[in-house]
Structure 1
Amino acid sequence: MRAICPMARRAPAAVLAVVGTPLWFGAPLPAAAQRADQTASGAPRPAAVAAGTAGLPRPLNAADAARLVRIFKAQAEGDLAAARGEHEALRDRRLDGHVLADRWLRPGAPPPAAEDLRAWIARYADHPDAPALHALLVRVSPGGAALPAAPAETALPEDGEAVPEEREAPASGFARNPALDRTVRERAFSGDTRGALDLIRRTRGMTPAYAAALRADIALAQFRRGEDTAAFRMASEVARSGRDRTGRAAFAAGLAAWGLGRYEVALPYFETAARAEGGSAAARASAAFWTARAAVRARRPQHYVPWMLRASQEPRTFHGLLARRALGLAPGFAWHGEAGAEHGVTALVETAGGWRALALLQIGQQGRAEAELRALWPAARGNAALLGAMLAVASRAGMTNLGAQLAGLAQGADGRPRDLARFPLPRLEPAQGFRVDPSLLYALARQESNFDPAAVSRAGARGLLQVMPATAAYVANDPSFRGEGAARLHDPGLSLEIGQRYLLYLATHDAVRGDLIRLLAAYNAGPGNLVRWLPVAAHRDDPFLFIESIPVEETRQHVQRVLAYSWIYASRLGLPSPSLEALVRGAFPRFLGAEEVLAQGARRSVALQ
């Protein structure tokens, strides 16, 4: 299968061919895949090839639009004389801030005079490049010079994932301190329970509700260390106190009791967690799912369907999707309509930043247009019309990362899903074709980079699938990836190919052996970390208990999200979800190649005829 695109859903699975060899290591990459057409860079991104976006307003007149295209082209080529000449003839000057910022911030550009930068900041402080130009002013100004205040950085960040189902409700009764949370969890998982408790006691301003939530975190850490008895003792005490409004203590008590084989004891704790008003929607769905399972183990099957139905009300979560499949319900996605279409773009045109975004799209400057839309985020909070207009423009302009973020934020604001934008379907084409389940590859790209080929993590992972350069060098047998060749990972086709090879390698690792849950954990945390965790978690012969035993929250969340996203994309692509079917049966899902998944789809199509 060379590529998957929106048309794939209408194509019979049997006619989709898989090409490429089944080897993961050392196979040569085609020359076309080795061109870094998209490289890592800071915002703004490179301009689009073709100017204008169909269906959106074009606020510039034709003459000025053509002149601005020539200006940006000349500046990209280093022909500043030509750019200045065109600029002098420009009539509509509302994009002057962008023209100058593009000129001054290009790599190797001569630094502007400090007075020019001061003038720019005084006039264009609302532009997305204002923080970068203020930093440039600081560098070129003499020591001790008076400087204007630094512009506030309030734009929506590119790596700001919006998962409305995972947001804790205001009823939790406290605001978390991320640094304190992290330290308490690290101490607890290292075995220093006393130190973690002492830190809670010594923290000034600690409220009973927050202290209860942190003690629940300690109990969860004990459970993930395999200390089920100690975990149950602490978690049940916190749960009985009534101070934990998030339900985490009750959930921890339920898990620990399940680990001890005391299902009738686990049942009421899971039920308490499922009813907790301060927990996130995803956490309540998870607890409801576990309540249904505990009811069966505790020989109270009459409670199974009601609790599974409650879990199924969150169909965009891991446990919600499992519940729907267990009950035989349709997935429940909204694969229709146009994202943000109910609002149009009028509200956007009425703002200065929105006008600039549309004008920049008209002349092909998509990266700068996206930066303007992100800068509008503070104004869009609480403004449904503006948020809807931003979502409509992002979706029509192909800004998949921004569109997915805005769709999640909009759902969090009004509760209405925007599945088309939140789970976009850009064309993915690995350099040597699909050899991995396409739904899984889409899910990984959605989770790892939100389909942003220019993404770079703080750890240095790059591209659509966030592959580390050292990993790429190993699986491609090409040491150049460790140096300047790392930029090639921003080529979408190459990133997908390297990611596939890494998945195929991990599937054969001794700690994975084809287990999809272990494979996804290893993809996120590395196979070495997986090996260190397995002695504690390996005795968990239940796949759901095994997932809950993963000690690192990021990795545990990664496994659940990628599995859920793979089922969502399977629904959109019209492909089977063998991992979902396996988990519903209570089995550990296996990693399957594209051929196996498509063969299952073909057999299912024949059976339904």
Structure 2
Amino acid sequence: MTRGETLPTASDSVKESAMFKQPTPLRARITTWPGRFLLACLLTAFGGTAFGATRAEVPVERAAPAEQIVAAASHAVFTPVLSPDDRQRYRKSFALQKKGKWAAADRQIKKLENPLLIGHLQAQRYLHPTAYRSKFAELRRWLDLYADHPDARRIYKLALHRKPKNTRAPKRPVGVYITGMEKLGAKTETGPPRSAKAQRVFRKLRSQIRHRLRKGRPESAETVLLNQRTNRYLSSIDHDRLQAMLANGYLSQGENEKAHAMAMASLQNSGAALGTTFADAHWTAGQAAWRLHLVDVAATHFQTLAMLKNIAPALKTAGAFWAARNELIQRRPQNVSRWLTVAADYPQAFYGILARRALGLKADYRWDIPHLTREDVGRIEATTRGVRAIALIEIDQTYRAARELRAVAAKPELARPVLALAARFRLPSLSLRLSGLLSNGEGHPGAAYPIPPWIPKEGYAVDRALLYAIMHQESTFNVRAKSPAGAHGLMQLMPRTANLMVRGRPFSGVHRKNLYQPELNLSIGQKFILHLLSNKRVRGNLFLLTASYNAGLGRVTRWQKRMPKDNDALLFIESLPSRETRIFVKRVFRNLWVYRNRLQQSAPSLDAILGGAWPSYVALDNLKDGNEVAEYGN
């Protein structure tokens, strides 16, 4: 899209359905019945609102975990670990140490009756980024006493760095922590086993090709594959796997003919032996054929992809949904529901949600979570880490508590009780980590899409559903998340961006650590969202907002200039040159729609996409000052 073009918005009249939009040369073949068909599907099942009430009916909860502990104790679920006086002393000690006030903190620590959390207090001190330089003897002594604490790995690494020569090594950390990724496993590949030499060559070439493709240089990546000195060690299957990667790189740069030719060559040469790359190659070939207006060829690839088993739901649902689009533009409506039904089997995928909406299927998420019982608490309290975690919750040190509970949940029999506790006391990052481990094929939406406890300092100026959706993808609600590029906290803010939002340099240098404060991070994050929404190049467009949040507004603007000009919103997403940004946009929208459901709100962006419009931001929360619904871009 070039400067000066006008983006369609949710209020524009719908001339064609985005789901059924066809490549430009075929547009004259389409009559008005596709839009009527889709509208009938939507209205028959939903009566106009699929996701519930127009306004949020779920109130903002403000109870702190410590207050919930007291309330739970009154119902005989919990017996508080710390006395009221110790809770106050620990809170003051952590707060004083955060500011580097060691003497004042020591006075509080000396008054403690229960030393249970001394290890955490010492870890905070020894790892302080600016106000304390720990000695090797302190670190070694700490590891002798507290090697099972969550900070043990960091302290061990620091101790090795400061260890004098000819000095006894410190004790190693002990314990296992769940990551939440254990069930995913590694991708499997078929084909003959590689020799050690061939394995090294394949990994090296793959790394070089990926690096060049991330830089938007598929021609340079192709020279790597064509290098006779190295590729002679590749099997034909490995060559075709790398060639399929190149094909996707050319597709990302809009070189559709070359992308289609290379993907087809890989499929024809190696077929299903490509393993996990087989599905990727079909997607690349199908998208390239669609853009070249080879609709019959595209249909073959999308349908093949939709029927594959044991592939990622995101890819399977994409193939099925685009197969349905293809059937409709070729005026075969009797086949559309078949492919939409395939996609609709995955209600937590981007295209799965779109398909269910188009078919008139209810967005039926079960928001119940495991009930926390006295027996659950007893099993957690039977572990040393569990007792420490509950004590930390009592003094609002929830980040430290969640890290302790990750070790408790490493025992399979304790994972469900820990999930119940995490949900009860609103530890969203831990809930999200555990949701995949306990899904058993059914899923735990209540744990996978938790409601976080933090509120921006000035209150919400952006809908909670959108903020939660971005946090879910950016940081998985980890308040201490930091990207390799230097983005910090819940909303993964770069210090430079944060400084721009507050007009100064308060987050430069060592002060960037302040971005880990959740309420402050949220406050700046929503300012940045509003800044993007009001930009003349975005004007409330949610696709442009999410793409710009991930890749930067300037980069997205440059991408638009060389992307397809047929104003197809879904094709825009699939044409973004950055794979990371494509995934980010679709996952944020999936999260947004699921959170709209959890907050009992409608999903206007979902209807806009299916109705042929670009999705615009529509605020549905009852904002802090009672403002009515706000729309951007109309």
Q: TM-score range by the shorter chain?
A: 0.7 to 0.9
Aligned to 1:330: 362
TM-aligned CA distance change 1:517 to 1:398, over 3 Å: same
Task: Determine whether 1:191 maps to 2:218.
Answer: yes
TM-score of the pair, normalised by structure 1 = 0.77
2: CA distance between counterparts of 1:309 and 1:486?
48
Aligned to 1:244: 274
Whether the 8 Å contact between 1:224 and 1:536 is mirrored in structure 2 is no
Whether the 8 Å contact between 1:289 and 1:319 is mirrored in structure 2 is yes
2: CA distance between counterparts of 1:213 and 1:343?
52
Aligned counterpart for 1:398 among listed residues 420, 426, 436: 426
For residue 502 of structure 1, give the secondary structure of its aligned residue in structure 2.
Answer: helix
Task: Determine whether 1:126 maps to 2:148.
Answer: yes
1: CA distance between counterparts of 2:581 and 2:204?
18
For residues 149-160 of structure 1, the aligned pairs below 5 Å read 150-151=172-173, 155-156=177-178
TM-aligned CA distance change 1:59 to 1:202, over 3 Å: farther
Task: Determine whether 1:505 maps to 2:531.
Answer: yes
2: CA distance between counterparts of 1:601 and 1:506?
15
2: CA distance between counterparts of 1:454 and 1:404?
15
Aligned to 1:315: 347
Describe the superposition over 1:547-606 as per-residue Cα deviations: whole angstroms up to 9, x where unpaired. 11111121111100111111111111122211111111233222345589997799xxxx
TM-aligned CA distance change 1:296 to 1:434, over 3 Å: same
Aligned to 1:225: 253
TM-score of the pair, normalised by structure 2 = 0.74
TM-aligned CA distance change 1:480 to 1:118, over 3 Å: closer
Shift of 1:336: 2.4
2: CA distance between counterparts of 1:488 and 1:71?
21
Q: Which amino acid aligns with 2:55?
A: A
Shift of 1:517: 1.2
1: CA distance between counterparts of 2:368 and 2:228?
49
Whether the 8 Å contact between 1:185 and 1:196 is mirrored in structure 2 is no
Structure 2: tracts of 5 or more residues without a match: 1-50, 97-101, 194-198
Structure 1: tracts of 5 or more residues without a match: 1-8, 18-46, 603-609
For residues 156-555 of structure 1, the aligned pairs below 5 Å read 156=178, 172-173=189-190, 181=206, 183-188=208-213, 189-192=216-219, 193-198=221-226, 202=230, 211-240=239-268, 241-242=270-271, 243-246=273-276, 247-338=279-370, 344-345=376-377, 347-362=379-394, 364-376=396-408, 379-380=410-411, 383=412, 385-411=413-439, 414-426=440-452, 429-432=455-458, 434-482=460-508, 486=512, 489-490=515-516, 492-509=518-535, 511-539=537-565, 541-555=567-581
Describe the superposition over 1:354-404 as per-residue Cα deviations: whole angstroms up to 9, x where unpaired. 343234435554333222123346x34xx2x32212212222222111211
Q: Which amino acid aligns with 2:427?
A: M
Describe the superposition over 1:13-46 as per-residue Cα deviations: whole angstroms up to 9, x where unpaired. 39999xxxxxxxxxxxxxxxxxxxxxxxxxxxxx
Whether the 8 Å contact between 2:491 and 2:521 is mirrored in structure 1 is yes
Task: Determine whether 1:13 maps to 2:40.
Answer: no
* Deviation larger for 392-401 or 348-357: 348-357
* Deviation larger for 334-343 or 440-449: 334-343
Whether the 8 Å contact between 1:250 and 1:273 is mirrored in structure 2 is yes
The size of the alignment, in residue pairs, is 549
Report percent identity of matched pairs: 34
Aligned to 1:605: none
Describe the superposition over 1:452-471 as per-residue Cα deviations: whole angstroms up to 9, x where unpaired. 45544333333432333322
* Deviation larger for 485-494 or 401-410: 485-494
Describe the superposition over 1:200-248 as per-residue Cα deviations: whole angstroms up to 9, x where unpaired. 9937986766554433221111111111111111112222332233311
Whether the 8 Å contact between 1:356 and 1:369 is mirrored in structure 2 is yes
Whether the 8 Å contact between 2:140 and 2:171 is mirrored in structure 1 is no
For residue 438 of structure 2, give the secondary structure of its aligned residue in structure 1.
Answer: helix
* Deviation larger for 76-85 or 447-456: 76-85
Aligned to 2:616: 590
Shift of 1:190: 0.4
2: CA distance between counterparts of 1:198 and 1:466?
39
Whether the 8 Å contact between 1:340 and 1:392 is mirrored in structure 2 is yes
TM-aligned CA distance change 1:555 to 1:540, over 3 Å: farther
Describe the superposition over 1:233-289 as per-residue Cα deviations: whole angstroms up to 9, x where unpaired. 111222233223331111111111111111111112112222333421221111111
1: CA distance between counterparts of 2:553 and 2:559?
10
For residue 398 of structure 1, give the secondary structure of its aligned residue in structure 2.
Answer: coil
1: CA distance between counterparts of 2:622 and 2:282?
41
2: CA distance between counterparts of 1:163 and 1:365?
26
Whether the 8 Å contact between 2:55 and 2:620 is mirrored in structure 1 is no
TM-aligned CA distance change 1:186 to 1:511, over 3 Å: farther
Whether the 8 Å contact between 1:224 and 1:551 is mirrored in structure 2 is yes
CA RMSD of aligned residues (A): 4.1
Whether the 8 Å contact between 2:321 and 2:339 is mirrored in structure 1 is yes
TM-aligned CA distance change 1:600 to 1:260, over 3 Å: farther
Whether the 8 Å contact between 1:172 and 1:279 is mirrored in structure 2 is no
Aligned to 2:29: none
Q: Which amino acid aligns with 2:605?
A: S
Task: Determine whether 1:143 maps to 2:165.
Answer: yes
Aligned to 1:70: 89
TM-aligned CA distance change 1:439 to 1:210, over 3 Å: farther
TM-aligned CA distance change 1:76 to 1:442, over 3 Å: closer
For residue 13 of structure 1, give the secondary structure of its aligned residue in structure 2.
Answer: coil
Task: Determine whether 1:561 maps to 2:591.
Answer: no
